[in-house]
Amino acid sequence: MKPTVGRIVHYVSYGTPGGEYSSQCRAAIVAGVPEGALPAADTEHAQEWESDAIVLDLAVLNPGGMFFNRCPQSEPIHRGGTWHWPEREGI
């Protein structure tokens, strides 16, 4: 399923190295669907992502504010800095 502009997905925040904050799901609005783009902010890790990972431009809604990022999809493992489709509650 390919996301379209305006859909809401989950962005995974980075936890702090010392563990004060854990990695968490945040709501993110799809601001753009770049064609064939690599994750701009994380190109040094690009080879670690699944080769078919969909990259999105996201407007991430954190409780403390918004930021914008280009992120790859990571469904099975919710790594920091990636997006995934929202989990269904209660399953």
Binding residues (CB under 5 A) for Zn ion: these are 10, 25, 87
**Nearer to Zn ion among residue 25 and residue 46 (C-beta):** 25
The sheet that has 55-62: what strands, in order across it? 65-72, 55-62, 25-32, 8-12, 83-84
Contact 3, 80 (CB under 8 A): no
**Nearer to Zn ion among residue 35 and residue 89 (C-beta):** 89
**Nearer to Zn ion among residue 9 and residue 55 (C-beta):** 9
Q: How far is the CB of 15 from Zn ion (least distance, A)?
A: 14
Query: At which residue do the structure tokens 């770049």 appear?
Result: 34
